């Protein structure tokens, strides 16, 4: 099963011709998940190989405009281009994000008289006071959304922090476990970890044929881990004909932060195949980054090191760092940011990748445990 991530916006603060505002898509069979949706994300979709209409889940790290201003418009455009079939029910788009997101979307869609051709539900993560300075906290009076839903809105969950793990449990289905964890920023911010579940290994069909077993229901039983009795009376166990299980992949996407908060990130992101982290400013501007609740490449690399991540993707660059190919003499050099992260990660085996808009990163299957 293929899995990849595509960067739709690698810039911070606002969209520019060189870098869109924050947005990233994780794609795997049948799933298209959008992480953050800055202004202009819908045009970034149009310029990419991806289809916005396929998005079935959205994760919003925090409520700063460069991560959420694109969401009402994107939903409306998806709806405009939708051609629902009368006999096919349209599925609900699940949206996860901080407390306040439900009201933001409801007000934007209601006051603009926007109707959608599909239902949506917002599942809000409860924030804690220590996620940001006092001036960044949103009072419950500001974020209480009441019971009057938008016509296409379905009731969503309120998700509490689990004290044992310092994480939020978002999804646990057949294929994936998705958790969120707390970050420190100027407003409450979150990171997300997507854990693909382990899958049974492939059947050794050559061996089965040698044993005289033709493809059929017995193959399915063996694949499910059952033993079967052959015609000659021999009992064949699944372990004899199944290859080792396929270990699931793990992708972690951090929202804006100057540091993770608590231990949740370590639990959720340990051994990540890909860890996406912001690096708004270079290491030489660490004080300014901290003051604005942001990270530098060195700080991001420290997080990747603590999690034992295999690949660190840096993004959310200040708009003054143009993509390498567009840089003119005397302008800030984005490749310097990669070097700063690499210095911290030296000897760890972690690869550092600089995000550019439309960069697609495949995440390879892990064959053996
Ligand atoms: Zn931002
Ligand atoms: Zn922010």
Distance 228 CA to ligand 2 centre (A): 57
Distance 238 CA to ligand 2 centre (A): 50
Q: Which of 66, 256, 273, 357 is catalytic?
A: 66
What CATH number does residue 319 fall under? 3.60.15.10
| Total number of domains in the chain | 2
Nearest ligand by distance to the CA of 98:
2
| Residue 156: inside a domain | yes
- Contact in structure between 161 and 170 (CB atoms under 8 Å): no
> Does the pLDDT of residue 369 top 60, yes or no?
no
Q: Are residues 142 and 219 in the same domain?
A: no
Helix, strand or coil, per DSSP, at residue 311: strand
For residues 220 and 236, give the distance between their C-alpha atoms in angstroms, rounded to a whole number. Answer: 13
Q: Are residues 112 and 236 in the same domain?
A: no
> Does the pLDDT of residue 197 top 70, yes or no?
yes
Helix, strand or coil, per DSSP, at residue 225: coil
Beta-strand pair 31-37/23-28: antiparallel
> Binning pLDDT at 50, 70 and 90, where does residue 231 land?
confident
Q: Are residues 267 and 122 in the same domain?
A: yes
Q: Residue 232: its pLDDT value, please?
A: 85
For residues 262 and 196, give the distance between their C-alpha atoms in angstroms, rounded to a whole number. Answer: 24
> Does the pLDDT of residue 224 top 60, yes or no?
yes
pLDDT averaged over the chain? 95
Q: How far separated are the first and last CA of the chain, in Å rounded?
A: 17
Phi/psi at 182 (5° precision) = -90, 145
Q: Are residues 20 and 128 in the same domain?
A: yes
User: Per-residue pLDDT averaged across 346-368, rounded?
Assistant: 93
Q: Residue 189: its pLDDT value, please?
A: 98
Ranges 3-12, 144-153, 292-301: which has the least confidence: 144-153
User: Per-residue pLDDT averaged across 251-264, rounded?
Assistant: 98
Distance 105 CA to ligand 1 centre (A): 18
User: Per-residue pLDDT averaged across 184-213, rounded?
Assistant: 92
Q: Residue 84: its pLDDT value, please?
A: 77
Residue 289 CB neighbours (<10 A): 22
Query: Of 190, 218, 241, which closes a domain?
Result: 241
| Residue 368: inside a domain | no
> Binning pLDDT at 50, 70 and 90, where does residue 368 land?
low
Helix, strand or coil, per DSSP, at residue 280: coil
Q: Are residues 210 and 336 in the same domain?
A: no
Q: Are residues 174 and 291 in the same domain?
A: yes
Residues 6+ apart with CB under 8 A from 179: 165, 167, 168, 169, 170, 192, 193, 195, 264, 268
> Does the pLDDT of residue 85 top 90, yes or no?
no
Residues 6+ apart with CB under 8 A from 126: 99, 158, 159, 160, 161
Segment 104-118, tens digit of pLDDT: 999 999 999 999 999
Residue 61 CB neighbours (<10 A): 27
Nearest ligand by distance to the CA of 257:
2
Share of the chain above pLDDT 70, in %: 99
Q: Are residues 154 and 226 in the same domain?
A: no
Structural domain boundaries enclosing 278: 3-81+90-199+246-362
For residues 169 and 125, give the distance between their C-alpha atoms in angstroms, rounded to a whole number. Answer: 10
Distance 254 CA to ligand 2 centre (A): 11
Q: Are residues 127 and 50 in the same domain?
A: yes
| Residue 66: inside a domain | yes
| Residue 211: inside a domain | yes
Q: Residue 251: its pLDDT value, please?
A: 98
| Residue 285: inside a domain | yes
Query: Of 241, 265, 291, which closes a domain?
Result: 241
Q: Residue 210: its pLDDT value, please?
A: 87
Distance 12 CA to ligand 1 centre (A): 5
Q: Residue 38: its pLDDT value, please?
A: 98
Q: Are residues 227 and 281 in the same domain?
A: no
Q: Residue 290: its pLDDT value, please?
A: 98
| Residue 369: inside a domain | no
Segment 16-52, tens digit of pLDDT: 999 999 999 999 988 999 999 999 999 999 999 999 9
Segment 127-176, tens digit of pLDDT: 999 999 999 999 998 998 888 999 999 999 999 999 999 999 999 999 99
Is the pTM higher than 0.85? The answer reads: yes
Residues 6+ apart with CB under 8 A from 227: 235, 236, 237, 238
Q: Residue 200: its pLDDT value, please?
A: 81
Q: Residue 367: its pLDDT value, please?
A: 66
**Residue 147 per-residue DSSP state:** S
> Does the pLDDT of residue 329 top 70, yes or no?
yes
User: Per-residue pLDDT averaged across 301-323, rounded?
Assistant: 97
**Residue 320 per-residue DSSP state:** T
Greatest Cα pair distance, the chain, in angstroms, is: 79
| Residue 112: inside a domain | yes
Nearest ligand by distance to the CA of 132:
2
Q: Are residues 310 and 222 in the same domain?
A: no
Query: Of 214, 241, 268, which closes a domain?
Result: 241
Distance 315 CA to ligand 1 centre (A): 10
Nearest ligand by distance to the CA of 183:
2
Distance 305 CA to ligand 1 centre (A): 23
> Binning pLDDT at 50, 70 and 90, where does residue 83 land?
confident
Least Cα distance to 274 among 162, 174, 360, 337 occurs for 360
- Annotation marks residue 36 as catalytic: no
Q: Are residues 211 and 353 in the same domain?
A: no
Q: Are residues 73 and 212 in the same domain?
A: no
For residues 272 and 250, give the distance between their C-alpha atoms in angstroms, rounded to a whole number. Answer: 5
| Residue 55: inside a domain | yes
């Amino acid at each position: 099963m293929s899995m990849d991530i595509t960067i739709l916006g690698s810039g911070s603060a606002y969209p520019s011709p060189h870098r869109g505002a924050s947005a990233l898509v994780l794609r795997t069979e049948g799933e298209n998940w959008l992480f953050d949706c800055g202004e202009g994300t819908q045009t970034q979709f149009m310029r990419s190989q991806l289809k916005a209409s396929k998005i079935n889940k959205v994760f919003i790290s925090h409520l700063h405009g460069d991560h959420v201003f694109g969401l009402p418009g994107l939903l409306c455009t998806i709806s405009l281009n939708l051609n629902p079939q009368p006999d096919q029910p349209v599925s609900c788009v699940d949206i996860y994000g901080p407390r306040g997101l439900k009201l933001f979307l409801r007000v934007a869609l209601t006051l603009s008289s926007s109707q959608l051709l599909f239902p949506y539900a917002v599942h809000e993560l409860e924030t804690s006071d220590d996620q940001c300075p006092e001036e960044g906290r949103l009072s419950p009076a500001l974020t209480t959304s009441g019971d009057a839903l938008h016509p296409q809105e379905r009731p969503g969950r309120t998700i509490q922090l689990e004290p044992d793990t310092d994480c939020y449990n978002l999804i646990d289905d057949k294929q994936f476990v998705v958790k969120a964890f707390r970050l420190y920023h100027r407003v409450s911010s979150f990171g997300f970890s997507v854990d693909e579940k382990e899958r049974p290994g492939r059947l050794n069909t050559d061996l089965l044929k040698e044993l005289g077993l033709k493809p059929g229901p017995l193959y399915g039983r063996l694949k499910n881990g059952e033993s079967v009795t052959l015609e000659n009376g021999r009992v064949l166990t699944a372990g004899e004909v199944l290859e080792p299980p396929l270990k699931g992949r793990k992708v972690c996407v951090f929202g804006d932060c100057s540091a993770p908060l608590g231990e949740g990130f370590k639990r959720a992101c340990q051994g990540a195949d890909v860890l996406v982290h912001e690096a708004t400013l270079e290491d030489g501007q660490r004080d300014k980054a901290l003051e604005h609740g942001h990270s530098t490449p060195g700080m991001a690399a420290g997080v990747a090191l603590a999690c034992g991540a295999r690949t660190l993707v840096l993004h959310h660059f200040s708009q003054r760092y143009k993509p390498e190919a567009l840089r003119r003499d005397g302008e800030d050099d984005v490749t310097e940011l990669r070097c700063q992260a690499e210095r911290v990660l030296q000897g760890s085996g972690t690869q550092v990748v600089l995000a550019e808009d439309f960069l697609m990163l495949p995440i390879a299957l892990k064959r053996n445990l």
